[in-house]
Amino acid sequence: MAELRPPVIAIMGHIDHGKSTLLDYIRKVNTTDKEAGGITQHVSAYEVIHEHLGPKGLEKRKITFLDTPGHEAFMGIRARGASAADIAILVVSAEDGVKPQTLEAYKHIEKGRVPYVVAITKIDKPSANIDRAKQSLAENGIYVEGYGGDVPVVALSAKTGEGVPELLEMLLLVAEIEHCVGDHTKMGTGVIVESRLDPKKGITAVGVVKDGTVMKGQVAASTGAVAPLRFILNGEGEQVDSLTFSSPIQIIGWDNLPPVGAVFEIFDDKKAAQFYADSEAAKAKFARIDTPYDDSITALPIIVKADTAGSLEAINYEIGKLARERIKPKVTVSAVGTVSESDVKSAIATPGTLLFGFNTKIDPQAAALAERSGIAIEVFDIIYKLTEKITELLENKEPRIDVEEIMGTAKVLKVFSSQKDKQVLGARATSGSIEKNSNIRIKRNDEEIGRGKVKELQQSKMAVDKIDEGNEFGAQIESKIDIAPGDILERIVMVTK
Round to whole Å and give the CA distance between 443 and 490.
8
Per-residue model confidence (pLDDT) at position 15: 67
Closest CA to 188 of 237, 236, 251, 279: 251
Whole-number percent of the chain with pLDDT over 90: 48
| Res 433 pLDDT > 90 | yes
Mean local confidence (pLDDT), 1-28: 79
| Res 422 pLDDT > 80 | yes
Residue bearing the bigger pLDDT, 400 or 470: 470
Per-residue model confidence (pLDDT) at position 289: 46
Inter-CA distances, 238 with 153, 242, 244, Å: 35, 11, 15
Per-residue model confidence (pLDDT) at position 70: 44
Q: In what order do the strands lie in the sheet with 57-67?
A: 44-54, 57-67, 8-13, 87-93, 116-121, 153-155
Residue bearing the bigger pLDDT, 420 or 243: 243
pLDDT band, residue 40 (cuts 50/70/90) = very low
Query: What domains can be seen in the chain, in order of their start residue?
Result: 3-181 (3.40.50.300), 189-287 (2.40.30.10), 298-397 (3.40.50.10050), 402-496 (2.40.30.10)
**What distance, in Å, lies between the first and last C-alpha atoms of the chain?**
69
Mean pLDDT of the chain: 86
Round to whole Å and give the CA distance between 307 and 46.
20
Residue bearing the bigger pLDDT, 430 or 56: 430
Residue bearing the bigger pLDDT, 97 or 220: 220
**Contact (Cβ atoms closer than 8 angstroms) between residue 453 and residue 438:** yes
Angle between helices 164-178 and 19-27 (to 10 degrees): 90
**Contact (Cβ atoms closer than 8 angstroms) between residue 494 and residue 435:** no
Round to whole Å and give the CA distance between 210 and 484.
79
Round to whole Å and give the CA distance between 497 and 494.
10
DSSP string, 346-381: HHHHSTT-EEEEES--B-HHHHHHHHHHT--EEEES
DSSP state of 19: H
Model confidence pLDDT, tens digit, residues 231-262: 898 887 889 999 999 888 989 999 998 988 88
Residue bearing the bigger pLDDT, 24 or 406: 406
Spell out the alpha helix ranges (H) of 47-206.
75-84, 100-111, 130-139, 164-178
DSSP string, 443-486: EETTEEEEEEEEEEEEETTEE-SEEETT-EEEEEEE-SS---TT
Per-residue model confidence (pLDDT) at position 235: 80
**Contact (Cβ atoms closer than 8 angstroms) between residue 317 and residue 383:** no
Model confidence pLDDT, tens digit, residues 316-349: 888 888 888 888 999 988 888 889 999 999 999 8
| Res 292 pLDDT > 80 | no
**Contact (Cβ atoms closer than 8 angstroms) between residue 170 and residue 22:** no
Per-residue model confidence (pLDDT) at position 296: 66
**Per mean pLDDT, which range of 4-8, 34-38, 245-249 is the poorest?**
34-38
**Per mean pLDDT, which range of 234-238, 285-289, 467-471 is the poorest?**
285-289
Q: Which residues contact 364 (CB under 8 A, 6 or more apart)?
A: none
Round to whole Å and give the CA distance between 71 and 56.
42
Per-residue model confidence (pLDDT) at position 80: 57
| Res 42 pLDDT > 50 | no
Per-residue model confidence (pLDDT) at position 28: 73
Per-residue model confidence (pLDDT) at position 41: 42
**Per mean pLDDT, which range of 45-59, 94-108, 246-260, 277-291 is the poorest?**
277-291
Mean local confidence (pLDDT), 13-32: 69
